[in-house]
Structure formats: structure tokens, C-alpha cells
Amino acid sequence: MFKKALISIGLLAFSLGTQAEVKITLSSKIKNAHEKAIKKDLKVLSEFKFSEEGSEDTLYYFGIESLTNQDLEEWLDARVNWIIPETEMDKLKIVEGEAATYPDNGVPVVETPDLKPQGKGVVVMSNIGTALYFAGKQSKKHMGLKIKTSMFNRDKVMIDSPRTGIIMIGEGLFMRRLQINRQNDDSVANSLGRLQTMFHEARHSDGHGKHLGFFHAVCPEGHDYAGLNACDRNMNGPYSIGASLMKEFIKNCEECTEGETEVMKLVWIDSLNRVIKDTETIAENTNVEIKALEVDIALKETVLSLASTEAERIKITAELVELKKQLKELASKEGLLQVVPSPILDPAPESIIR
């Protein structure tokens, strides 16, 4: 079988006389057509004309002073370095290295979803570099990953920080029904759609301690994705990044048709709606009933984490949903429910200590 050589995408963009570059190494296992599409997407990014200045939110979330191709390329370059296809996942060669010292600043609490996505899920993209860094931090080992690049020797990537930027792409990224323009595969709008996904994923390469990787939160009751792990409980996470970028694309796209712009607006709103602006919590209290319920919930959550069958998991999850509902009703009756606005988190990444 013909093996593609490792390719390093080096794109030059000239902006105000300076040059930016997004260097991404693609696994040799990526399909030809997909490789071509990714290269095109990066070219679209380097040539996209931002005629209007970015909104204040966009500049703030991205930590940039003005919206230029160069700034966005540098942003992406710092966070996405390797791309591997989903098909490589089952033969993923994880290297468990030596003991390593990680910062003593805590780890994220991964929210347990109440539901599983309906139907057969399709993978679009996932930041596995950050997932491996997190795993390494928990086991206090230096993790690495072997990536097939066939021609060169750089196939072992050691994961020193969430910024390692190993991104896995799935069929969903290129699936026609998930594109902005389903009639014209090559449209610029389709590249813009994939770019917003890539920038979303890139944000998972940020953060430290309790918000390492900007992990998603479970969407609240009443939300379109209620019970699913598909929201952010902060104002500047992956969904905000994706939404901000899409908004700027919509504002500035000269080539986009009316139909494409309509779909882009839906993508923008979908991302925006996944940002939970505030969270209901229970104020400090000495209410015995509330304390008892909280103990019950904590206990059930432990039982859930130990459940071995799917049937068991479904049963316990339903019980948990019911208990949480009771707790909320009780707290509300006692006037103890308070609304806490979601924070803007410090995106600075962490790394292993040498």
C-alpha cells in the first residue's frame, strides 16, 4: 500500500509585512481527500479578509489585540500541532514514560452526563493530547504517543503540557450532511465551518489546575442538549471561541452565499447557546434535610462510578436525576437557591515540572 510521507503544512500569510505560519504534522494515515481539505482550510484562514475589526469579546477571548490572519494563525499554531485520524485510535500506541512531577494545582472535575447521545454518534474532532496529559497528571507519569508518520523518525510525541496539541479527526468532520454547504464540497464556507471546529478543539489545549483543558459541562434542564456533556460552564471556553470565530466569519465573508450565511448563523447560535451563563447553587446552610440529600447524592455518584452494567448505570442515573430534582426543590423552598454567574477562566496552560 502506498504510504504517504509525513507532510508539514507550512503556510505563509503576509499581513502588514510580517509572516505567520501554521505548522501541523498530519499522520500518514489521513485519507488523501481529507489531507487536501485540511490544507485548503488553513489556506482559507491565511487568506480570509477581515475587513471589520473583531468585536471586543472576540479579541478578549482570543487574547489578541486586533483580528488579523496572523494573530489567528499564531493562536492555532500554538495549540494544534498533530492531526491523527480516528481510524488510528484502536491501534493507538500510548507510551507510559517515567514518573513525572506535575503542578500541585488540582485537576478538573469531569461532570457525569445524565444521558448518552442518542443514536450512533459520529466523531468530528477530539483533543487527545489534552486527554493524555490529564491521564498522565492523574497517574504521575510522563505520557507519550506514537504517531505514524512513515518517513521520518519523529513518531514519538511526549506530552509535556495540554499545548502538545494532538488532535484526532473523525469522519464527521467531512460528512456531507454536517457541512455548511452540502451541494458544494469545495465552498469556502465549508472550510470556515471546519475551522471553527478546529479552533474549538484548540481551546482544549489551554487551561491549568481545575480548568485544565476547559472540559465541557453537562447542559442544564430545559436546554436543547439537557443532560449531555455538551456545554461550557465558563464564558471563554471552546464553545465561546467557536461562536466568536464564526461570528467574525459571518461578518466578513465576501464569498459566502445567502444560504451559506444562514447555515453559518445556525452554527454560531448553536455554539453560543452551549455557553451556560450562570449556575444555580445552594447557599451555605445548616438544613438537615438538605445535608442528608447531599450525602445521598454523593453516595449514589460513587455507586454510579462503580456500576458495571449498562442497565445498572441507567437505573442509578435516573435515581440521581430524581434526587437532584428533590434537592433543588427543597433548596428553592428554603430560599437557599442562588445564581452564580459563570466565570472567565485564565487560559494559561500548565506543564510538567522538570
Only one of the segments 46-54, 64-72, 168-176, 231-239 lies at the binding site for Zn ion (rule: CB under 5 A); that segment is 231-239
Pairing between β-strand 278-282 and β-strand 337-341 as defined by DSSP bridges: antiparallel
Report the Cα–Cα distance between both ends of the chain, in Å, rounded: 42
- Using the minimum distance from each CB to Zn ion, give the nearer residue, 149 or 240: 240
Only one of the segments 45-53, 71-79, 185-193, 234-242 lies at the binding site for Zn ion (rule: CB under 5 A); that segment is 234-242
- Using the minimum distance from each CB to Zn ion, give the nearer residue, 191 or 196: 196
Helix (H, G, I), strand (E, B) or coil at 227: coil
Please report how close the Cβ of residue 200 comes to Zn ion at its closest, in angstroms: 6
Number of residues that bind Zn ion (CB under 5 A): 1
Give CA–CA dist 204/80, Å, rounded: 10
Tell me the residue nearest to Zn ion as measured from the CB. 238
Check residue 242 for interaction with Zn ion (CB under 5 A): no
Please report how close the Cβ of residue 230 comes to Zn ion at its closest, in angstroms: 8
Check residue 238 for interaction with Zn ion (CB under 5 A): yes
Please report how close the Cβ of residue 215 comes to Zn ion at its closest, in angstroms: 8
**309 phi and psi angles, rounded to 5 deg:** -115, 155
- Using the minimum distance from each CB to Zn ion, give the nearer residue, 69 or 240: 240
Q: What is the DSSP letter of 253?
A: -
Q: Compose the 77-96 pattern: x for residues touching Zn ion by CB under 5 A, - for all others.
A: --------------------
- Using the minimum distance from each CB to Zn ion, give the nearer residue, 195 or 320: 195
Only one of the segments 17-25, 113-121, 173-181, 233-241 lies at the binding site for Zn ion (rule: CB under 5 A); that segment is 233-241
How far apart, in Å, are the Cα atoms of 234 and each of 231, 273, 275, 298? 9, 12, 7, 24
Number of C-beta neighbours around residue 225 at 10 A: 17
- Using the minimum distance from each CB to Zn ion, give the nearer residue, 162 or 238: 238
Give CA–CA dist 70/149, Å, rounded: 28
- Using the minimum distance from each CB to Zn ion, give the nearer residue, 35 or 201: 201
Long-range residue pairs from 60-69, CB within 8 A, at least 24 positions apart, any chain: 60/236, 61/235, 61/236, 61/240, 61/241, 61/244, 62/241, 62/244, 63/347, 67/248, 68/15, 68/16, 69/13, 69/15, 69/20, 69/45
Which spans of this chain sit near Zn ion (rule: CB under 5 A)? Answer: 238
